[in-house]
């Protein structure tokens, strides 16, 4: 039987306190701003008890989103690879929703959050990652923290999620690779950037995998590189082409055992600087010769585009999807397709 009492709430407003008691079940209590909300909640609890499908909401209603995020940081984040998720947790903990109970976070709240972030000019992919973390938190709370009654509000807003932009399809233009390598040689700083870029184009390895390379992982006789730690969590062995071996043979051995001795962020910064200054040099050459510079040359190029380029080249060499995925480490054909951009011009000869 439900008992509903009107009580003095914060400030001068009143709230409605509800208590549902039934023999054989723990007492359930909750507080609402209106009597209608209180009656609806009590009716739901009583109906579930009568039908034998009741699951206690006590813990979900007593735990705030902020408290759950703190627990998530301690128990879940240490086992995840992406350091960006720490920043997403901090952002959610600063948001007003963090003061709401887990049971009180609804789909409309998540939809409002999406609109808020879009108004702030936040990119669609960033919003997607923030929602993914929140969704995973609710899944963990339901499956591992004993809050079986908890629904996932993120699952209710699929139609409201921002549309992701089309995947990048930037590939090196004809004659652009020599210019890129020359720019890396001239502006790479202390990093042997030209050699690093050449290896990336031969192996399709990720930035972090290249930064973590150690000489002990290279089997020169078998022409294979072991990548013990990958984004997917599964080690893989990357075959090394003659060009890749030539690049490695030209490097000096470091005392610490690393091939490059640089952080992933340092690679990105050095590459961006080299591309920017290489574009400047290209424009100066065009001005000196009276030519009009191609607006595409060394423009909008990112280090990760080299993985797209290398993956596409593997297909153009005639390798099948299983062979390419063994080299690149892609888990699904869909992901592999996103990283593959074949040029129609390069496929003409194969058609006959």
Task: Name the phi and psi angles at 144, rounded to 5.
Answer: -110, -20
pLDDT band at 82 (very low <50, low <70, confident <90, very high): low
CATH classification for the domain delimited by 176-346, as one of 1.10.287.180, 1.10.443.10, 3.40.50.1220, 3.30.428.10: 1.10.443.10
pLDDT band at 269 (very low <50, low <70, confident <90, very high): very high
Whether residue 339 lies in the annotated active site: yes
Under 8 Å between Cβ of 153 and 109? yes
Whether residue 119 lies in the annotated active site: no
Under 8 Å between Cβ of 148 and 142? yes
Which residue is catalytic, options 179, 187, 307, 308?
307
Q: Specify the pLDDT at position 57.
A: 64
Angle subtended at Cα 211 by Cα 207 and Cα 217, rounded to the nearest 5 degrees: 115
Whether residue 17 lies in the annotated active site: no
Widest CA span in the chain: 92
Q: Which residue is listed with tokens 């000096």?
A: 252
Helix residue ranges, H only, the chain: 35-51, 58-62, 65-75, 84-94, 107-119, 124-143, 176-187, 193-203, 207-211, 242-249, 264-289, 305-316, 321-328, 333-338, 344-351
Can you tell me the distance from the alpha carbon of 106 to that of 156, in angstroms, rounded to the nearest whole number?
8
Instruction: Round the average pLDDT of the chain to a whole number and report it.
Output: 86
Q: Specify the 3-state DSSP secondary structure of 236.
A: strand
Q: Residue 106: CB partners within 8 Å, gap ≥ 6? A: 153, 156
Query: Which has the higher per-residue pLDDT, 219 or 15?
Result: 219
Q: Specify the pLDDT at position 340.
A: 67
Which residue is catalytic, options 93, 117, 187, 206?
206
64-160, what's its fold? Answer: DNA polymerase; domain 1 (1.10.150)
Q: Residue 161: CB partners within 8 Å, gap ≥ 6? A: 114, 127, 128, 131
Minimum mean pLDDT among 18-27, 115-124, 244-253: which range?
18-27
Which residue is catalytic, options 231, 236, 237, 273?
231
Tell me 254's DSSP state: P
- Kindly report the number of other CB atoms within 10 A of residue 162's CB atom: 17
Under 8 Å between Cβ of 149 and 56? yes
Can you tell me the distance from the alpha carbon of 306 to that of 247, in angstroms, rounded to the nearest whole number?
16
pLDDT in tens, 277-328: 999 999 999 999 999 999 999 998 999 999 999 998 998 888 888 899 889 8
Q: Specify the pLDDT at position 119.
A: 92
Q: Specify the pLDDT at position 14.
A: 78
Which residue is catalytic, options 57, 117, 313, 330?
330
Q: Specify the pLDDT at position 81.
A: 65
Q: Specify the pLDDT at position 180.
A: 96
């Amino acid at each position: 039987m439900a008992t509903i009492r009107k009580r003095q709430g914060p400030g001068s407003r009143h709230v409605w306190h509800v208590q549902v008691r039934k023999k054989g079940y723990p007492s359930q209590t909750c507080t609402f701003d209106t009597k209608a909300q209180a009656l609806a909640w009590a009716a739901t609890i009583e109906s579930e008890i009568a039908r034998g499908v009741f699951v206690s909401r006590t813990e979900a209603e007593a735990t705030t989103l902020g408290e759950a995020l703190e627990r998530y940081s301690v128990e879940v984040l240490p086992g995840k690879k992406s350091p960006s998720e720490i920043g997403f947790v901090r952002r959610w903990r600063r948001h007003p929703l963090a003061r709401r109970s887990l049971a009180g976070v609804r789909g409309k709240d998540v939809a409002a959050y999406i609109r808020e972030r879009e108004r702030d000019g936040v990119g669609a992919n960033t919003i997607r990652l923030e929602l993914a973390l929140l969704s995973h938190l609710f899944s963990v709370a339901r499956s591992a923290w004993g809050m079986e009654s908890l629904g996932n509000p993120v699952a209710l807003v699929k139609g409201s999620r921002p549309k992701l932009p089309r995947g990048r399809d930037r590939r090196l233009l004809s004659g652009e690779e020599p210019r890129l390598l020359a720019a890396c040689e001239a502006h790479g700083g202390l990093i042997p950037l030209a050699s690093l870029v050449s290896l990336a184009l031969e192996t399709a390895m990720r930035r972090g995998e290249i930064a973590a390379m150690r000489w002990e992982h290279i089997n020169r006789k078998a022409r294979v590189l072991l990548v013990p730690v990958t984004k997917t969590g599964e080690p893989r062995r990357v075959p090394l082409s003659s060009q890749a071996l030539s690049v490695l043979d030209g490097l000096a051995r470091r005392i610490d055992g690393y091939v490059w001795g640089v952080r992933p962020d340092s690679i990105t910064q050095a590459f961006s600087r080299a591309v920017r200054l290489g574009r400047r040099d290209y424009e100066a050459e065009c001005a000196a010769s009276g030519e009009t510079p191609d607006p595409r040359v060394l423009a909008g190029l990112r280090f990760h585009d080299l993985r797209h380029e290398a993956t596409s080249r593997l297909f153009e060499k005639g390798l099948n999807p299983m062979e390419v995925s063994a080299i690149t480490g892609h888990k699904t054909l869909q992901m592999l397709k996103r990283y593959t951009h074949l040029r129609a011009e390069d496929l003409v000869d194969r058609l006959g």
